[in-house]
Amino acid sequence: MQLSLFTALALLVLTAAGFLLGRRRALAAGQGRAAGLHSLPDYYGYYVAMWTGAPALVLLALYGLFGGMLVNTLALAELERSAEPLGARYESVLEIDPAHAGLRAERDQAEAGRLAAREYADAMFTQHGAESPQMAEAMTDVDGWIAEGERVEAELETRESQLLSQILGAAPDSPQGLAARAGLEYAQLPIERRQLFISDIRALAFGEGMASRDTAELRAAAAVFQPYETTIKWTVCLLAFSIAVIGLARAWRRVAPGFRARNRVEGAISFLLMLSSAIAILTTLGIVMSLLFEAIRFFAAIDWRVHEFLFGTQWSPQIAIRADQIGQSGAFGAVPLFVGTGLITLIAMAVAVPVGLFAAIYLSEYASPGVRAWAKPVLEILAGIPTVVYGFFALLTVGPFLRDFAMLLGYEDAVTQSALSAGLVMGVMIIPFVSSLSDDVINAVPQTLRDGAYAMGATKSEAVRQVVLPAALPGIVGAVLLAVSRAVGETMIVVMAAGQAANLTANPLESVTTITVQIVTLLTGDQEFNSAKTLSAFALGLVLFVMTLMLNIVALRVVQKYREKYD
């Protein structure tokens, strides 16, 4: 870290020097007068500075982003190489160990049994249907074989870890031996736990954060990491420095009175500006790629039963998915989430659309400037309150109030976390959104249309209802669609106030769960990045993204068409 910081500082100094040198050379070439030069002297300075600093700094930035990864890859490769003899010994021990061989045979047997039972069950399914007793019996059989398979698998793992620790214990305590042990341990780790292993090594080697454990093996591995880090760091720093010097020299030589330095510098600036606008595209690309990639992994983990995910009615991701689930009721049936999302959105819209629309109409058509002066800020404050505050309010004030109210009306099963309280509060949150969008839309209706209506003797409300609103309708529809997309994607209010229970219900007084709630639930707490459970969050995220994207595209298109009409 210190070295690269020092290099960066040195580069900055060099860049400043480049500026001064370039400027001086330009002035000298122009005999001290700027008039003889194509560009102002400063531009020559910028030009030289640019070629001094930019490439080297880009190199350093690349090192910052990918250097760690490079070191990890190289060092881990070495670790694994040094573990090869140990690994070979382990493989051979596995081969000859009688207990292990027996378990392997058992596993094959269980697998064969499962396949046979499965085949039988499929036959029963086609002959007697899903609800038949034959089918149930066959499925019990399948379940039995699966349980057997799992048992054998667990025993195999135990035996393997016993043998592994024997092998590891037999390796010498020399640095090479320790490193080999670390390498074997790493090779045997399941993929999702490798990241932690690496970060522990890095913590010990370079003091990045805290190591979760500190063993001799890890220290030996850290010792393998260190030289790679040092070599790569020095190489990069020297390379960066020499690039800077070469860049300075070359650019400096090009400085001449006729040289179009300003155009070069401006070209670089517009390139930078273009680059920054590419970030927006990269962001979208990043979202799409990451969601797609992880969602595909999820669908692969559930054997591509996408329809089960989209149309299944049972959501219980906490239960590990079984290899042999059949029928429509998989544990990853997202319909309850869609219904919950829809229910809450509906309630929110029932609050936000009328109130927001009337507020907008009142503010744009009726309110005196005095009223506008305080009513608009009130709406802006409502819009500016963080959603977590709305969530707290829904959880502690609105939820209990609605529950007590429902109980007073004789509804005994009322709960604090209900679709109604989340929906109501979300509706209030969206009021300013609807009202400010509608306000814009209503104001875009040309005054001549209003004048036309008034001149016919229409009252204000008639002009609004019969002329302004119909004229503004497409825009208002667009605004409502945007509000729906907002409600669908809102997270904190529902996380705090709607509950976690995946009930498939249309009853607003029950707890429901939404897409966003489940994403949060699945991704907070312990993550095993390979389990279908965690990955399903990305599939949900993909659904959410596609839903909101479609709403947004339609809404923005509608609003844009509307604006063009009156512009």
Judged by CB under 8 A, the chain residues 423 through 442 that form the site for other proteins are 428, 431-432, 435
* One of 485, 511, 513, 536 touching other proteins (CB under 8 A): 485
At residue 332, φ and ψ (nearest 5 deg) are -110, 40
Instruction: Tell the smallest beta-carbon distance from residue 260 to other proteins (Å).
Output: 11
The end-to-end CA distance of the chain, in Å, is 56
Considering only residues 69-108, where is the footprint of other proteins by CB under 8 A? Answer: 69
The tokens 């709406």 sit on which residue? 379
Identify which of residues 109 and 199 has a Cβ nearer to other proteins in the complex.
199
Q: Which residues between 359 and 418 bind other proteins (CB under 8 A)?
A: 359, 361-363, 365-369, 371, 375, 378-379, 381-382, 384-393, 395-397, 410, 412
164 counts as binding other proteins under rule CB under 8 A: no
CB under 8 A: which stretch of 30-38, 226-234, 315-323, 491-499 binds other proteins? 491-499
Give the footprint of other proteins on residues 334-363 (CB under 8 A). Answer: 354-359, 361-363
Q: How far is the CB of 265 from other proteins (least distance, A)?
A: 8
Question: Residues 194, 549, 554, 563: which binds other proteins (CB under 8 A)?
Answer: 549
Query: Is 296 buried (19+), middle (13-18) or exposed (0-12) by CB count in 10 A?
Result: middle
- One of 174, 270, 329, 500 touching other proteins (CB under 8 A): 270
Which residue is listed with tokens 């509000």? 483
Q: Are 415 and 394 in contact (CB under 8 A)?
A: no
Give 170 or 550: the residue with its C-beta nearer to other proteins: 550
Q: Which is nearer to other proteins, 87 or 317 (CB)?
A: 317
Phi, psi of 315 (to 5 degrees): -120, 105
492 binds other proteins (CB under 8 A): yes
**Closer of 172 and 386 to other proteins (Cβ):** 386
Give the number of other CB atoms < 10 A from CB of residue 53: 21
Closest separation between CB of residue 295 and other proteins, Å?
10
Pick 105 or 273: Cβ nearer other proteins:
273
Query: Can you tell me the distance from the alpha carbon of 50 to that of 255, in angstroms, rounded to the nearest whole number?
Result: 13
CA-closest candidate to residue 349, choices 551, 539, 511, 499? 551
Tell the smallest beta-carbon distance from residue 492 to other proteins (Å): 5
CB 8 within 8 A of CB 240: no
- 423 vs 541 by CB, closer to other proteins: 541
Cβ closest to other proteins, residue 234 vs residue 411: 411
Binder among 168, 291, 442, 512 for other proteins (CB under 8 A): 291
87 versus 475: smaller Cβ distance to other proteins: 475
Q: Write the burial class of residue 32 (CB in 10 Å: 0-12 exposed, 13-18 middle, 19+ buried).
A: exposed
Q: What does the alpha-carbon distance between residue 329 and residue 306 come to, in Å, rounded to a whole number?
A: 13
CB closer to other proteins, 68 vs 144 = 68
300 touching other proteins, by CB under 8 A: no
DSSP character string of 113-143 = HHHHHHHHHHHHHHHH-TTSHHHHHHHHHHH
274 binds other proteins (CB under 8 A): yes
Q: How far is the CB of 220 from other proteins (least distance, A)?
A: 22
Decide: residue 454, CB within 10 A, 0-12 exposed, 13-18 middle, 19+ buried. middle
Residue 488 or 498: the one with the smaller Cβ distance to other proteins is: 488
Choosing from 283, 323, 400, 404, the residue that interacts with other proteins (CB under 8 A) is 283
Site for other proteins in 131-150 (CB under 8 A): none
Residues 166-195 that bind other proteins (CB under 8 A): 195
How many residues are listed for the chain in this entry?
A: 567
Site for other proteins in 518-537 (CB under 8 A): 519-520, 523-524, 529, 537
Site for other proteins in 441-470 (CB under 8 A): 446, 448-462, 464-467, 470
Binding to other proteins in span 53-72, by CB under 8 A: 65, 68-69
Q: Cα-atom radius of gyration of the chain, to the nearest Å? A: 34
Residue 460 parent element (H or E): helix 460-462
Q: Which of residues 224-253 bind other proteins (CB under 8 A)?
A: none
Our CB check for other proteins shows the closer of 141 and 439 to be 439
Structure tokens at 422: 């989340």
Nearest alpha-carbon partner for 484 in 279, 332, 347, 283: 347
**Residue 52 or 485 having the CB closest to other proteins:** 485
**Whole-angstrom distance, CA of residue 447 vs CA of residue 30:** 62
Helices and strands, number each (H, E), in the chain: 21, 0
3-state secondary structure of 332: strand
What tokens does 474 get? 């497409």
Q: What residues pair up with 332 in beta bridges, in sequence order? A: 315
